[in-house]
A and B are shown apart, each in its own frame.
Chain A
Amino acid sequence: MNPDRLIDDAFAEHTGTPPPALRGRIMAGARRRRPVAPSYALPYAVRIAVLDALLTELTPGEWATPVIYDWTVRDLVEHLGAVDEAVAELLAGPLAANGQAELDRRTAAAQSSTRSPDGTHRHWRDGAAALCGALAGRPQDLPTDLVLPLPLADLMTSRAFETWVHTTDIADAVGRSLPPPLPEHLHPLADLGVRLLPSALSVATGAAAPASAMITLDGPGGGTWTIALAPDAPLTPAFSLRLDVIDFCLLMGDRIPPSALPVTITGDTLLARTLLEAAPALSGP
């Protein structure tokens, strides 16, 4: 034991029994402070909570830390807010313009705002909570086309993915340690990543590969998938890839180069390598 344990043990001497009703009051208070999202948007709501927790601990000076693409923490949070806002507008009706160029324009406009770090934090968090609220009653298979044609549930998972990647960017830049996602929160991100591999391949190479692949992602939250890289591909996998689930997500998010990735390949090595090289093709800012 150590002197700090002595503090704990002395405090524990006073342990008592709180009135039973207190627990309910505390839980109700906690519930009021978090956005409510439909189950398909839970991965997104969780990422919002995590980034919110990280941002709450930052000093005003840390908001000016450079993170990525010449953006500071503040710029990055404004970017997330701008894209979330576009998604919220999309739910209300078609956007005047969509695609990456439109998101870039909205990002630049948000970043040139005069909001203080606190203001940026609040603006982003309120926008995210409003987006969660706006999802109520929307079918999860509602077709959307912000940058890619995706059903609403996948669009929200892609927002969770981007929020997660940028949260790790910010934590790294300010030197804070963040716990890794819980397996049940990581799995939907990995699942979307695997399902987007065919699109990434065709964006990167301009062609679809008439083959299937078996992807095994190791670690809590991982799993095994067999995916067709083109609609008419034979079902028997031409190759299999095996790698860590977090590594895979960071590859999709263009945070680890394919060459630096510990991966086991069996079968058609050339096609497997092409797929790994193509994997980050869909990641934007």
Chain B
Amino acid sequence: MGVDEIPSDVVWARRLVSGDEAALGEIYDAYGGLVYGLALRLTRSRELAEDVVQEVFSFLWERPAAFDPGKGTLRSWLGLLAHRRSVETVRREELRRRPAASDDMPLPGVDEAVTEELYREQIRGRVAEAVARLPEPLRQVVELAYYKGRTYRQVAAELGSPEGTVKSRIRAALKQIAEDLAEEGVTP
């Protein structure tokens, strides 16, 4: 991954917009695990997670022009969409289980007023909060690597730590941020 993601995203976007089914299969093979894993963690249900995966890939197929490779990677776009649909699914399920909810009560659907960009902005805020909660040694490496754009080697040099330590701290930090993001109420 890295810079070589960009050209394949552009080609995938062209093929999806052209209705190329094989491209959908390739994208599923590349990111189906990401979407499913995220949905499973958020919904805590295999059945609901499968529904989310179907929703996400149906959306990609039916609205291929909604993904603009000029604005970000497909991995990022799918991750955000998976997160959003999972949170919506959880809320729908909670309402359904509530005894007061009757059948004719409308269930919340996709809040179209929250644009993709706005949703990303909300998640950015949640991530920044999660970073702020990290123990100091973890917070330091994340800030240098992700917010100041340093390489692992540069981070290691700046902190006077071995590169292996930097990498393991990043991994520990990512796990903790991931758990924070998976908690309920992640969106306002």
Contact = CB atoms under 8 A, between A and B. Distances in A.
Interface of A: 1-19, 22-23, 25-27, 29-31, 33-34, 45-46, 48-50, 53-54, 56-57, 176-182, 185
A131 to B, nearest CB: 15
Contacts of B53: 18, 22, 26
Interface string B39-83: 011000010001001100110011111101010110110011011
B65 to A, nearest CB: 4
Given A7-B127, A30-B58, A12 B79 contact: yes
Given A1-B146, A18-B32, 10 more contacts: A4-B120, A10-B127, A10-B177, A13-B174, A13-B177, A16-B33, A16-B40, A53-B17, A57-B66, A182-B18
Contact of B14 (A1, A48, A182): A182
Contact of B10 (A34, A53, A57, A179): A179
B76 A7 contact: yes
24 contacts: A2-B149, A4-B124, A6-B142, A7-B76, A7-B120, A7-B127, A8-B79, A10-B177, A10-B181, A11-B79, A11-B80, A13-B175, A14-B40, A16-B41, A17-B33, A23-B25, A26-B28, A29-B58, A29-B61, A34-B21, A53-B63, A179-B14, A181-B18, A182-B15
A29 to B, nearest CB: 6
B137 interface: no
Contacts, number: 155
A190 B52 CA distance: 42
Contacts of B6: none
A29 B182 CA distance: 29
Interface string B168-188: 000000110110011000000
Contact of B54 (A29, A54, A179): A29
